Amino acid sequence: MRLLIMGPPGAGKGTQAKYVAEHFKIPAISTGDIFRANVGQGTPLGIEAKRYMDAGEYVPDEVTNLMVRDRIDEPDAVAGFLLDGYPRTLAQVEELDGMVAFTGHSLDAVIVLTADRDEIVERLLRRAQTEGRADDTEDVIRRRQEVYAEETEPLIAIYRERGLTHEVDGMGEVDQVTQRIFDSLNGVIES
């Protein structure tokens, strides 16, 4: 099972990714989480990534692609994975296609979480208070939304043309949204 979850920053991808991945017994791989873990440990990758993350910009493709390639080569991801936060650029879409094709597989579905822009900014500002993420200040949140709209949102069309997208309303209670995702995937994917 090879799944992607896409949607704007703050749409709840990380939260939903965990439930969906658990259900299908595959790892949820979040590029944002891996970057943050590296920042926390002060690794060279973390030091490099932090500059971009703090500004709300994307980490360069070469860095991100290598990191994802290493992660999906790990044993727990051989049977499948759910990627959260990747791909975000056209170069990453192409890189992922190559990685998946190389193993003789293909992507099974792309979950697209939709969300109301104002609601999202509010959510992220609330998260800033509880989690204290360095990139959850108002300016950086707005920049992340802009970068998403410019660079990532247009990529959804690529997967739509391939017939892989499942658009799900990300607004409402967490478990309602999870149920919508399962309903939408139902029939396409056997667990």
Which positions are annotated as active-site residues? 13, 88, 127, 133, 144
User: Which helix or strand (DSSP H or E) is residue 51 part of?
Assistant: helix 44-55
Q: Which residue has the tokens 């990453």?
A: 92
Residue 32 interacting with ligand ADP (CB under 6 A): yes
Question: Of 3, 20, 27, 31, which lies in the binding site for ligand ADP, with binding defined by CB under 6 A?
Answer: 31
Given the complex with ligand ADP, which of 4 and 109 has the nearer CB atom? Answer: 4
Which residues within the stretch 11-30 sit at the binding site for ligand ADP (CB under 6 A)?
none
Min CB(78)–ligand ADP separation in Å: 21
Nearest residue relative to ligand ADP (C-beta):
32
Does a cis peptide bond (omega within 30 degrees of 0) precede residue 87? yes
Total residues found in the chain within this entry:
191
- Which residues does 44 contact at the CB level (< 8 Å), separation at least 6? none
| Beta-bridge partners for 113 | 168
Which residues within the stretch 50-109 sit at the binding site for ligand ADP (CB under 6 A)?
52-53, 56-59, 64, 85-86, 88, 92
Among 121, 115, 64, CA closest to 88 = 64
Question: Of 2, 123, 144, 166, which lies in the binding site for ligand ADP, with binding defined by CB under 6 A?
Answer: 144
The answer to whether 184 and 111 have CB atoms below 8 angstroms apart is yes
Given the complex with ligand ADP, which of 2 and 144 has the nearer CB atom? Answer: 144
Min CB(112)–ligand ADP separation in Å: 14
Number of Cα atoms under 13 Å in the Cβ half of residue 160:
8
Q: Which residues bind ligand ADP (CB under 6 A)?
A: 9-10, 31-32, 35, 52-53, 56-59, 64, 85-86, 88, 92, 135, 144
